[in-house]
Amino acid sequence: MSADGRFVAFASLASNLVPGDTFAPAAWKDIFVRDTCYNAPTGCIPSTVRVSVTNTPNPQTEANAISDYPAISADGHYIVFLSAATNFLPGVTGNGHTMVYFAKTGF
């Protein structure tokens, strides 16, 4: 959880948290960030974003393996997690990578 309690990073097996989450087998967790809007400016709408997806825009591709153990920075801008996926960034091979996701731009 971010220091102010606004952002929460978590891993989940659920496939109904965000639209388009259809690929993962039942045993593959995805990483999500929930904006609770706690202490946010007026007009904030609570939302959930899946961050364990590729950095390619429109459409982003789902991870091709499990991701788990998320942590979030105090300001909520950086999310770190472990993943066996090899399709987040070009040239990534093998598994057991530590991924750093920047909430404003992606990987």
pLDDT digits (tens, 9 = 90+) for 21-37: 876 566 789 999 999 99
d(CA 33, CA 11): 9
pLDDT tens digits for range 5-16: 999 999 999 888
- Cis omega (within 30 of 0) for bond into 70: no
pLDDT value of residue 23? 62
* The residue to which tokens 């039942």 are assigned: 26
- pLDDT per position as a tens digit, 34-91: 999 998 999 999 999 999 888 766 667 888 888 999 999 999 999 999 988 888 877 7
C-beta of residue 33 within 8 angstroms of C-beta of residue 67? no
Q: How far is 9 from 27, CA to CA, in rounded Å?
A: 19
| pLDDT score, position 101 | 77
**pTM of the predicted structure, to 2 decimals:** 0.85
Residue 11 lies in a domain: yes
What distance in Å separates the CA atoms of residue 89 and residue 96, rounded to the nearest whole number?
14
pLDDT for 5: 95
Q: Domain range for residue 30?
A: 7-102
Total domains in the chain come to 1
In a domain, residue 27? The reply is yes
Q: Quick check: is 2 in a domain?
A: no
What confidence tier does 105 reach under pLDDT thresholds 50, 70, 90? low
Is 107 domain-assigned? no
In angstroms and rounded to an integer, the radius of gyration of the C-alpha atoms of the chain is: 14
